[in-house]
Amino acid sequence: MERLYVGSKICTGLGLATNTYKKVLESGELTLRELITWAAGRGFSWVEIRDADVKMSEQELLDMKELADKLQVRLHYAWDNEDLLCKPESFLKGIENAALFGDGTCCRVLLAPNTVKGKKGYTREEMEALVRIINFYVKKAGEKNIYLCFENAMEPLQGDGETYFGMADLLKRCPEMCVTFDAANACSSTTCVNPTEAELIQYYQEFAERNFYFHLKLTKNHEILDTLEADGDFDLHKLFEAFKKNPSMLVCLEIPQQPTLVKMQKAVEDSLKFLEGTSES
């Protein structure tokens, strides 16, 4: 079975986010175990399990890990906490769940999208509160030997340093904080301050050691595309070139959901076709 890769020096292979298949999983066309099995057979090296409301049982998660181990694919974990400023009760449970997948598990989590929605960024007061909360949870995750990777959802990558603040400001204040880098989210119309392509690369390079988890999708005219293509708001190949400096970079395909399995598989295969050849670039 031939493994899928992105970039010639990124040795971790390509990951797949189960959130991409959310509608198909909810309809019953496919089960999560069937998706993991298909992903392994198709050449994905790892799978990001989205447990949106942190409701999967310990046994469910252990059974998935057992299956993944047999198939020789790694599992990482994700959940959809709405707002850290509201101190969600499920957050510590998410950390416990992720630890079941083993040391080094990465957890894609959110910051406070409900708070920042429709705004340029966080206020100074919101940032100060987030710094305390992030440091608390990062310490808890470290005790379990896992990584919390906070995703930019509607936050700007950079604030102006005075009236609004973003991901870079938080990273500077939280030295142990890691992130999920989502360039498409940053360039989407739902984020009020969009970066240039050069600013995307600068953000990655400035925090590369803690910016090792990437959600792979694309925007065009600030709207997220169903598949990967060459003509977007940013050049994926330039990002992959920057990622080469970190051979342990984790790149996870997370394109938009489709209503049927046939349409979903076509979108995935079209995206994989676009990625062909990047491992030689």
| β-bridge pairing 219-220 and 223-224 | antiparallel
Per-residue model confidence (pLDDT) at position 2: 87
Q: What is the mean pLDDT of residues 142-148?
A: 98
Q: Give 31-59 pLDDT, tens digit per residue.
A: 999 999 999 999 999 999 999 999 999 99
Secondary structure of 175-213 in HEC code, one letter for each residue: CCCEEEECHHHHHCCCCCCCCCHHHHHHHHHHCHHHCCE
Element (H, E) at 237: helix 236-243
Predicted local distance difference test score (pLDDT) of residue 139: 98
pLDDT band at 280; cut points 50, 70, 90: low
**pLDDT confidence of 277, banded at 50, 70, 90?**
low
User: For residues 214 and 204, what is the distance between their CA atoms, to the nearest angstrom?
Assistant: 10
133 contacts 139 by C-beta, under 8 angstroms: no
- Mean predicted confidence (pLDDT) in 99-122: 97
pLDDT of residue 165: 98
Torsion 24-26-30-33 (CA) sign: positive
Is the pLDDT score of 279 beyond 60?
no
| 278 has a pLDDT exceeding 80 | no
Q: How far is CA 224 from CA 190, 207, 264, in A?
A: 10, 25, 15
What is the percentage of the chain residues whose pLDDT exceeds 70? 98
How far apart (Å, rounded) are the C-alpha atoms in residues 89 and 37?
A: 32
Confidence of residue 81 (pLDDT cuts 50, 70, 90): confident
Distance in angstroms (rounded) separating the CA atoms of residues 183 and 105: 22
What percentage of the chain exceeds 90 in pLDDT? Answer: 90
Does 71 score more than 60 pLDDT? yes
Q: What's the farthest any 2 CA atoms get from each other in the chain?
A: 52
Average pLDDT over residues 112-130: 97
- Report the 3 state secondary structure along 111-156: CCHHHHCCCCCECHHHHHHHHHHHHHHHHHHHHCCCEEEEECCCCC
- Per-residue model confidence as pLDDT tens digits over 152-200: 999 999 999 999 999 999 999 999 999 999 999 999 999 999 999 999 9
Q: What's the pLDDT score for residue 132?
A: 97
Per-residue model confidence (pLDDT) at position 82? 78
CA 139 – CA 278 distance, rounded (Å):
37
What confidence tens digit (pLDDT) does each residue in 201-230 have?
999 999 999 999 999 999 999 999 999 998
- Give the closest residue to 5 by CA, choosing from 46, 37, 33, 48: 46
